[in-house]
Amino acid sequence: MWRMKVYKCLENYQNSVILSNNVWIDEFHIPVNRKDLIMNKGKKLRGISVNQLVIAVGIDSNNNRYATLVGKGHITSKQCLDSYGNHIEKGSRLIHDGTFSHDQLIAKLKLTDETWKPIVKLSKKAMQPINSFCAQIERNFVKHIGGLTNYIQDYLNWIVFKNSLKGLKMNEKILKLEEVCLKSGVTFKVKDRY
């Protein structure tokens, strides 16, 4: 119950996140719940399909982070622009894997870009900040494997918020969480838990 209260308070936490300077972005996929699987002649669809949720993830050189659930399958140019467009400062330097859907974002925000295809030997090192953040998100999903799809954005908000607490002492973390919860304006009644 308390976890759901905190999630509700963090619902709009990422609205003000702006990534700037060097910005790494990537998308990764997680499978939909079994009950939502779409089959083709009794078999699961292969590759990146509507049976996978796509999550857009970003991190900058100041350690600001952003993560949002986009939809299913491959990310489109419109989804890319809608997801990242209000969260990357114009003129920043974008470091990415060269996915074609990033092109409109680069043009619209007048970003300089650096592309690192996974087949290039040095790409692992160049993309390390975003790869580490994606791995952290995936580990959290493994912990909450029983979580419902409609709570995925809540998990993402919590992960981004938790990263903003790094380096703080425990009492500072508590104060920051209290501040965010109080500023959110979210209220609960005893009956809300039933």
Are 92 and 75 in contact by the 8 Å Cβ rule? The answer is: no
Say what the alpha-carbon torsion angle 89, 90, 94, 96 is, to the nearest 10 degrees.
80
Q: Give residue-wise pLDDT tens across range 34-63.
A: 666 566 666 665 656 567 788 999 999 999
CA 150 to chain centre: 15
Q: How far is the C-alpha of 153 from the C-alpha of 121, rounded, in Å? A: 33
Structural domain total, the chain? 1
Identify the pLDDT of residue 27. 92
d(CA 11, CA 9): 6
Q: Where are the alpha helices (DSSP H) in the chain?
A: 2-9, 77-84, 103-108, 123-126, 128-143, 152-164, 170-184
CA distances from 175 to 81, 139, 149, 169, 172 (A): 34, 26, 30, 10, 5
pLDDT at 147: 54
- Dihedral Cα 102, 107, 111, 112, nearest 10 deg: 90
Query: What pTM, to 2 d.p., does this model score?
Result: 0.83
Task: For residue 60, give the H/E element and its range.
Answer: strand 52-60
pLDDT reported for residue 43: 66
> Which domain range does residue 93 map to?
2-193
Q: Tell me the CATH number at 141.
A: 3.30.420.10
Block means of pLDDT (10 residues each) for the chain, length 194 residues? 82 91 91 64 63 89 93 88 94 92 93 87 88 88 62 89 90 91 80 54
What pLDDT is recorded for position 194? 45
Query: Could you tell me how far CA 148 lies from the centroid of its own chain?
Result: 17
